[in-house]
């Protein structure tokens, strides 16, 4: 499926739109436990012209290892690298909480279609497909941590490349240790209106809204089981060979029964800078700061905001724009993915 999509989007010869080359990287929150919730993906303030269409295919692989401090101390005293799911199934961590443990790899693919309607409006639809599992990258992540002398935060206390999620709070007891395979996530319908009357010569502004329909499976982290909706403000400043982007969003998340979260409003903010390198390549760096959907569960490590740094390259190939990015958590390490890679391709029609 990936090869066919790539061939479809790359098989053209005309030049891609410069706005796409200097756009922010379309990367959402990569934390394993957050995959079922809606998050705005960074984007530029400009909208498509009337009748134009843009198709975007995104893919990301994210490695998460996060835990409550008490679990980390307890596992550190075990011999070898035991199976984490077996340790939690024994019940010795039950009623010691609230506690959580999340170890796994998330594979997420998205197909997004957007169309310009009228002079200043754009309508979009995003269809995600995702799978959470043990993955393959634990050894690579541990080796990089060792090379950089930053420690492995207890990774070496459990078996590599296994999936285990454990949450124990007064309101929920959840344990998961095997993947259910790929499944469709929550479908999002989006709209963006460019605020041309407020714009200046080099500054564009837009307001965007979204509604996410609960078509995914909350128990498999591909959905939340509830309707999510949000609104965000986007500002873009276009310079000679670069662009600056900033956005702030407010999302009303419905409750997620398997994970024990309640309906709530969370905020997120992204700042991004893109710089052209030559005629058909650009480098982008961006930081996304998000409130945790789990901050009301009493889990100390999940009460703070997550900080996700993304660094990537974008390249025009014919009428398509492709990108590749590396993603790393910064400052707070237990409420976001340890590391991730993302890539994608977009084409205008």
Q: What's the mean pLDDT when you consider all of the chain? A: 87
Interatomic CA distance for residues 17 and 204, integer angstroms: 17
Range scoring the smallest mean pLDDT among 143-157, 247-261, 317-331: 143-157
From 205-209, 221-225, 233-237, 299-303, the region with the lowest mean pLDDT: 299-303
Instruction: Name 311's bridge partners.
Output: 285, 326
- Position 240 pLDDT exceeds 90: no
Architecture category of domain 2-348 in CATH? Beta Barrel (2.40)
pLDDT tens string 106-153? 999 999 999 999 989 999 999 999 998 887 777 777 677 677 656 666
pLDDT at 9: 40
Residue 17: pLDDT band by 50, 70, 90 thresholds?
A: low
Cβ contact 40:249 at 8 Å? yes
* 3-class DSSP assignment, residue 184: strand
Task: Give pLDDT, residue 12.
Answer: 34
pLDDT at 164 over 90: no
How large a percentage of the chain has pLDDT more than 90? Answer: 55
pLDDT at 153: 67
Q: What is the pTM of this model?
A: 0.87
Which pLDDT does position 109 carry in this prediction? Answer: 97
pLDDT at 177 over 90: no
Question: Is the pLDDT confidence value at 190 over 50?
Answer: yes
Lowest mean pLDDT among 51-60, 84-93, 179-188, 201-210: 84-93
User: What would the pLDDT profile of 151-162 be if each residue is shown by its tens digit?
Assistant: 666 677 778 778
- The DSSP letter of residue 134 is -
CA 188, 132, 228 angle in degrees (round to 5)? 25
The predicted pLDDT at position 151 comes to: 60
What is 102-156 written as a DSSP string? EEEEEEEEEEEEEEEETTTEEEEEEEEEEEEE--S-HHHHHHHHHHHT---TTGG
Cβ neighbours of residue 180 closer than 8 Å, sequence gap 6 or more: 131, 217, 220
Domain extents in the chain: 2-348
With a cut of 80, say whether residue 79 has pLDDT above it.
Answer: no
Instruction: Measure the CA–CA gap between 222 and 272, rounded to whole angstroms.
Output: 27
Q: Is residue 257 predicted with pLDDT exceeding 60?
A: yes
pLDDT: is 171 or 147 the higher one? Answer: 171
Q: Give Dmax over CA atoms of the chain in angstroms.
A: 66
According to the model, what pLDDT value does residue 150 have? 62
Question: Omega into 98 within 30° of 0, i.e. cis?
Answer: yes
Q: What is the pLDDT of residue 50?
A: 96
């Amino acid at each position: 499926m990936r090869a066919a999509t790539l061939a479809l989007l790359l098989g053209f010869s005309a030049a891609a739109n410069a706005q796409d080359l200097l756009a922010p990287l379309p990367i959402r929150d990569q934390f394993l436990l957050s995959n079922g919730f809606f998050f705005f993906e960074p984007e530029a303030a400009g909208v498509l012209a009337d009748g134009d269409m843009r198709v975007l295919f995104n893919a990301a692989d994210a490695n998460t290892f996060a835990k409550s401090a008490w679990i980390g101390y307890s596992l550190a005293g075990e011999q070898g690298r035991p199976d984490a799911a077996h340790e939690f199934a024994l019940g010795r961590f039950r009623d010691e909480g609230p506690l959580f443990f999340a170890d796994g790899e998330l594979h997420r693919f998205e197909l997004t279609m957007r169309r310009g309607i009228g002079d200043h409006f754009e309508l979009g639809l995003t269809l995600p497909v995702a799978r959470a599992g043990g993955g393959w990258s634990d050894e690579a992540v541990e080796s990089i941590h060792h090379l950089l002398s930053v420690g492995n935060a207890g990774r070496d206390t459990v078996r590599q490349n296994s999936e285990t999620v454990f949450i124990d709070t007064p309101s929920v007891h959840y344990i998961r240790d095997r993947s259910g395979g790929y499944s469709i996530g929550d479908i999002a319908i989006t709209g963006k209106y460019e605020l041309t009357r407020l714009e200046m010569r080099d500054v564009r502004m837009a307001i965007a809204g979204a509604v996410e329909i609960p078509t995914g499976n909350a128990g498999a982290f591909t959905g939340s089981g509830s309707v999510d909706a949000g609104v965000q403000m986007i500002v873009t400043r276009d310079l000679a060979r670069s662009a600056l982007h900033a956005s702030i969003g407010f999302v009303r998340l419905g409750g997620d029964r398997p994970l024990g979260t309640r309906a709530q409003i969370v905020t997120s903010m992204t700042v991004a800078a893109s710089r052209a390198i030559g005629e058909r390549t650009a480098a982008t760096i961006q930081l996304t700061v998000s409130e945790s959907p789990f901050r009301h569960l009493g889990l100390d490590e999940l009460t703070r905001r997550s900080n996700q740094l993304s660094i990537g390259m974008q390249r025009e190939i014919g009428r398509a724009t492709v990108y590749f990015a590396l993603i790393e958590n910064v400052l707070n390490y237990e409420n976001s993915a340890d590391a991730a890679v993302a890539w994608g391709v977009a084409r205008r029609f």
